[in-house]
Amino acid sequence: MTRFALTVEFDGRPFMGWQRQDHGPSVQQAIEDAAHAVTGEDVIVHAAGRTDAGVHGLGMRAHCDIAKPITPFRLMEALNARMRPNPVAILACDEVSGDWHARFSCLSRHYEYRIVTRRAPLTWEKGLAWRLSGPLDAPAMQAAAAYLVGRHDFTTFRSAHCQADSPMRTLDRLDVAQEGERISVFASARSFLHHQVRSMVGCLSLVGQGKWAPEDVRDALAARDRTTLGLNAPPDGLFFLRAEYPSD
């Protein structure tokens, strides 16, 4: 049995999320079905993190165990061929030790949330960014983001359906970058709560629009109450960028 580490890119628009679902297609199912077609085995693919419906991946890490003798390159090529026309691609495939785990060995996860500020609707980027019709005050958003960095109880910013044992998380990075009409919010942590990134971005957008002051984000965090959340951003603009491991 060989364990393979995969780097996966996917467009989340056609999927119900990463995890296999009974009520619709998933990224996990697309890869597992392709792996079964290639190997004849019931392969389970484990990911660094789960993504919601409509969320995208540029460098999701995952692993699977396969008994059939096959090289990483041949496996990558075969999976990509079998997954067409699903918008999923294996960018890299490597043999790893049997104790390497895409989820539990992960030291840090990195996300980017993309916002486009313009009045015209999105065309080819529809579903790949969140369009807001007015300008945003990026420096004010950055000032608000600073209140969220560090170890906190993020109850306000977790989904009511979050299954994590604790709302405590350490946010290592939350930065706002602007280039013309485009704003990106970068978030890094060892792990995130369900909807945490989208909830943080939603509140930052209120600050950017002048509807909240930066201190309102601080107060929402301190409240530790989901009902004080200002806005949960849509999944469209959220991208899983990469995951980091000790071997990196």
Q: Express each pLDDT in 55-67 by its tens digit.
A: 999 999 999 999 9
Mean pLDDT, range 81-89, rounded to an integer: 97
Query: CB–CB of 55/11 below 8 Å?
Result: no
According to DSSP, the β-strands at 130-132 and 88-96 are: unpaired
pLDDT in the model for residue 164 = 83
Annotated active-site residue in 11, 33, 42, 52 = 52
Give the contacts of 44 (CB within 8 A, at least 6 positions apart): 32, 64, 65
Alpha-carbon distances of 221 from 37, 54, 80, 141, 229, rounded to whole Å: 47, 26, 43, 15, 9
Question: Rounded to 5 degrees, what are φ and ψ at 183?
Answer: -125, 130
Mean pLDDT, range 76-95, rounded to an integer: 97
H/E stretch holding 208 reads helix 196-208
Q: Provide long-range contacts, Cβ within 8 A and 24+ apart, for 19-23.
A: 19/50
The 3-state DSSP class for residue 36 equals helix
Strand ranges for 69-225 from DSSP E: 88-96, 108-117, 130-132, 150-153, 168-179, 182-189
Query: CB–CB of 41/4 below 8 Å?
Result: no
248 is catalytic: no
Place of tokens 């369900």: 194
Question: Rounded to 5 degrees, what are φ and ψ at 91?
Answer: -85, -30
pLDDT in the model for residue 21 = 85
Q: How confident is the model at residue 163 (pLDDT cuts 50, 70, 90)?
A: confident
Asked if residue 26 has pLDDT above 90, the reply is yes
DSSP 144: H
pLDDT in tens, 203-215: 999 999 999 999 9
Tokens representing residue 221 in the block: 């965090």
